[in-house]
């Protein structure tokens, strides 16, 4: 039997039907009860391919041609590949295979429904080698004659230049790899949407999330990198518990969509512009994303490893189908890796930016590529710059140290091949091919989170390599101070005990940019440039308050999910009035103060009518994350709380907004940064669950120094005896009250003796900025050793 229905195939049949078909069969047989829908179909077995070779006497000719291949330099790869494809082109599909395909096709669709014809090699979609994009597939094929012709074209694609090279690179013998072909009902994604999903974050390997890309029309635009797709992260634990799970969503710049030609030849595809609505809205709605997320999670659970999944939504029936699922190979191969930290040491002039793939800083010569004909220009160590890449370029891409593209997202071909080759990429720059010139020397940095940068010239940088197993284990918790959520998935892989301080105000200034009260009172604002700009930024939100809540919850939720189940302590906003005034609409709501550092900041704002409703938006975002998404590792911290009475007012205000201490396990901490927090620590301990020492403010208020003043800045000293007296007193009070206490500040990483002092006093945790964490851990370990 040369044609095998998917419902008779399992994952153990890779040698018979190839990796792709084996996976489709496995899911068809076993995952239907979990709501996973696979388009019905059948596999033309690998034995059919072998019969095709033997019946046409092609084996000896192929072997003879391949013997002439220079497998070291591959300089004659194009010539040999062309010869092999010409040999296969001469062959005819044996009648017995044609008859079986005809019978199976009639059972599948009664010959009236188009199908997808997909290559599935016997060495494909393995945990160690994906073969993604190496062989050809054909969509919307209608009629037996066209199907048979497409099967043969799949056979021929086994000897694409890129496929030959891939087998050599991965140690597969050519004659031992056979090709099966999958034939399945066509999902009309051209009338809806399609995309790719990973059951981990594809950049960092963080396995707490599911990452989905989506765009209107066929998924080929995403794979090719022709569009910047929507990007969505979902929290796995929330999916498991049946809760809302969308952590973050980013609407992509979907300029076009790929559809089938309406001119009668529906096998032909073309790109048409997306509508205004399509450009500004997600291509899947919230319910569809949640459903797809559950499907991806169940697929991963079934296989027991992270998965790379292709999906498509059918326009006519509106249902989402899984059209391919294979093991995620990049992080599987990487295994336990060393941590590398990069830091620019030169002033940098930015040329362009896009989405970062990888984590590095490098310099090289720009080589602009428009087609495979440009391959001879590329030398080892070059930076390839192109509008987008395609699989035929894989051989020349191996010479590059970096890829920069105008178009594409994190699941485009450029991104996938960069990860597989272990190089960096900056994708979706928009106009890199216009701004960069052949031969130009540039420096590329992908070490700063989601954004990748191309800088002018060769810059200086430093790199540190850290072996995780060499990082000491400490009794005192070492935690992060974070302001940029974009770095959370990567940083969560470092040795750490969670996030001791997540600075909400930095999220507001960078991600939201609008004063909360300007959103609360938007309809009441007088016409102005600020109101016009606020309207543009929040254009998709009729209720402007929802814009703030959604954006804040996405940023905080990203950090909480990345570090889950480790605690993430979120400090509620701690702008000063002069800083709030810099936000859009801020000048309408902020008073002018002589000394904002000691004025209307922190706790005093939260219950005051001038900001109370803005604080309500902050509470709503935290409540949503904890109660709706199940991110119960989030704790809240109140800054600049001057008296216990003020603390009670804040807690009552939070309760009025549905965020109550103790409910659903919510813990509320207070910053210990004012002398009153130390002197009345016993009273603060009665109403709060823990303390976090803000050493900068505590030092300035203990010594009477304005830390913003350059005149007296030399007197600012956290090692001063008076400051240490305050630190010792508040740590002792917290320990006596059996309340957790930590410290957030730079001094423990800069001064080993300061760390030793904190450890001796019995502090529970010390939080560091990302660049100081590892040094800080070393200081803690040394202090604990001396204290034993």
Active site (catalytic) residues: 413, 744
Backbone angles phi, psi at 385, to 5 degrees: -120, 125
Q: Is 296 exposed, middle or buried (0-12, 13-18, 19+ CB in 10 A)?
A: buried
568: tokens are 């993430």
DSSP type of residue 627: I
DSSP type of residue 472: P
Look-up of token digits 């034939």: 183
Give the whole-angstrom CA distance, residue 715 versus residue 201: 46
Report the candidate in 66, 175, 69, 56 with the shortest Cα–Cα distance to residue 122. Answer: 175
Task: Tell how strand 499-503 and strand 740-744 pair up.
Answer: unpaired
167: tokens are 């087998």
553: tokens are 């919850």
CA 535 to each of CA 519, 525, 554: distance values in angstroms, whole numbers, following the listed order: 9, 11, 20
DSSP type of residue 514: B
Report the candidate in 385, 391, 377 with the shortest Cα–Cα distance to residue 406. Answer: 385
The answer to whether the CB of 631 falls within 8 A of the CB of 625 is yes
DSSP type of residue 173: -
Task: Tell how strand 383-386 and strand 402-405 pair up.
Answer: parallel
With H, G, I as helix, E, B as strand and everything else as coil, classify residue 383. strand
Give the whole-angstrom CA distance, residue 674 versus residue 647: 13
Give the whole-angstrom CA distance, residue 360 versus residue 425: 10
CA 174 to each of CA 21, 170, 185, 629: distance values in angstroms, whole numbers, following the listed order: 20, 11, 30, 49
Angle at 222 between CA 379 and CA 78, to 5 degrees: 40
Backbone angles phi, psi at 640, to 5 degrees: 45, 55
Taken as a whole, the chain contains a residue count of 788
Look-up of token digits 């076993």: 30
């Amino acid at each position: 039997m040369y044609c095998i229905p998917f419902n008779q195939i399992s994952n153990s049949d890779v040698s018979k039907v190839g990796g792709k078909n084996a996976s489709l069969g496995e899911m068809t047989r076993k995952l239907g009860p979990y709501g996973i829908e696979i388009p019905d179909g059948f596999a033309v077995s690998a034995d059919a391919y072998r019969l095709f070779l033997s019946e046409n006497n092609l084996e000896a000719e192929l072997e003879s041609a391949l013997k002439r291949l220079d497998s070291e330099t591959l300089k004659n790869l194009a010539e040999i590949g062309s010869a092999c494809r010409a040999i296969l082109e001469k062959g005819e599909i044996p009648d017995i295979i044609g008859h079986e395909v005809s019978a199976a096709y009639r059972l599948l669709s009664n010959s009236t429904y188009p199908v997808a014809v997909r290559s599935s090699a016997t060495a494909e979609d393995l945990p160690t080698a994906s073969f993604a994009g190496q062989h050809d597939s054909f969509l919307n094929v209608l009629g037996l004659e066209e199907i048979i012709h497409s099967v043969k074209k799949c056979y021929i694609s086994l000897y694409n230049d890129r496929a030959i090279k891939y087998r050599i690179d991965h140690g597969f013998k050519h004659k031992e790899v056979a090709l099966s072909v999958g034939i399945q009902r066509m999902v009309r994604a051209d009338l809806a949407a399609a995309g790719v999903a990973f059951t981990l974050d594809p950049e960092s390997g963080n396995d707490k999330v599911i990452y989905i890309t989506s765009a209107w029309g066929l998924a080929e635009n995403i794979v090719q990198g022709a569009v910047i797709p929507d990007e969505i992260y979902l929290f796995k634990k929330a999916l498991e518990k049946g809760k809302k799970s969308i952590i973050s969503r980013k609407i992509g710049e979907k300029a076009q969509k790929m559809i089938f030609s309406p001119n009668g030849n529906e096998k032909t595809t073309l790109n048409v512009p997306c509508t205004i609505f399509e450009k500004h809205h997600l291509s899947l709605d919230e319910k569809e994303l949640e459903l797809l997320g559950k499907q991806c999670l169940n697929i991963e659970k079934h296989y027991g490893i992270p998965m790379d999944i292709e999906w498509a939504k059918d326009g006519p029936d509106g249902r989402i189908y899984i059209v391919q699922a294979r093991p995620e190979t990049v992080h599987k191969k990487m295994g336990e890796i060393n941590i590398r930290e990069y830091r620019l040491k030169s002033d940098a002039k930015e040329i362009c930016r896009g989405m970062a793939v990888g984590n590095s800083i490098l310099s090289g010569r720009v080589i602009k590529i428009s087609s495979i004909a440009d391959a001879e220009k590329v030398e080892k160590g070059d930076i390839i710059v192109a509008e987008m890449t395609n699989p035929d370029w894989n051989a020349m891409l191996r010479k590059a140290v970096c890829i920069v593209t105008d178009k594409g997202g994190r699941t485009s071909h450029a991104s996938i091949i960069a990860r597989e080759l272990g190089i960096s990429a900056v994708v979706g720059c928009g106009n890199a091919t216009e701004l960069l010139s052949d031969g130009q020397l540039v420096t590329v940095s992908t070490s700063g989170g989601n954004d990748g940068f191309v800088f002018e010239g060769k810059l200086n940088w430093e790199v540190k390599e850290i072996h995780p197993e060499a990082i000491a284990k400490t009794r005192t918790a070492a935690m992060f101070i974070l302001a940029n959520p974009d770095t959370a998935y990567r940083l969560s892989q470092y040795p750490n005990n969670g996030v001791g301080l997540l600075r909400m105000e930095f999220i507001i200034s960078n991600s939201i940019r609008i004063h909360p009260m300007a959103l609360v009172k938007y309809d009441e604002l007088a016409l102005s440039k600020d109101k016009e700009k606020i309207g543009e930024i929040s254009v998709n939100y009729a209720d402007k308050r929802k814009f703030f809540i959604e954006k804040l919850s996405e940023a905080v939720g990203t950090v909480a999910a990345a570090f889950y189940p480790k605690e993430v302590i979120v400090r509620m906003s701690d702008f000063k009035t002069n800083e709030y005034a810099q936000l859009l609409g801020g000048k309408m709501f902020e008073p002018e103060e002589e000394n904002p550092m000691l004025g209307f900041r922190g706790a005093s704002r939260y219950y005051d009518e001038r900001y109370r409703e803005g604080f309500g938006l902050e509470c709503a975002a935290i409540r949503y994350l904890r109660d709706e998404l199940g991110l119960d590792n989030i704790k809240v911290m109140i800054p600049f709380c001057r008296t216990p009475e003020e603390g009670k007012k804040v807690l009552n205000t939070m309760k009025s907004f549905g965020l109550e201490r103790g409910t659903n396990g919510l813990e509320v901490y207070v910053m210990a940064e004012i002398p009153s927090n130390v002197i009345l620590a016993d009273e603060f301990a009665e109403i709060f669950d823990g303390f976090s020492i803000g050493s900068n403010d505590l030092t300035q208020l203990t010594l009477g120094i304005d830390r913003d003043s350059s005149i007296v800045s030399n007197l600012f000293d956290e090692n001063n005896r008076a400051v240490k007296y305050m630190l010792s007193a508040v740590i002792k009070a917290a320990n006596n009250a059996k309340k957790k206490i930590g410290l957030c500040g730079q001094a423990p990483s800069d001064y080993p003796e300061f760390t030793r002092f904190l450890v001796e006093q019995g502090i529970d945790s010390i939080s560091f900025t990302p660049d100081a964490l590892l040094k800080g851990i070393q200081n803690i370990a040394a202090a604990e050793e001396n204290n034993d």
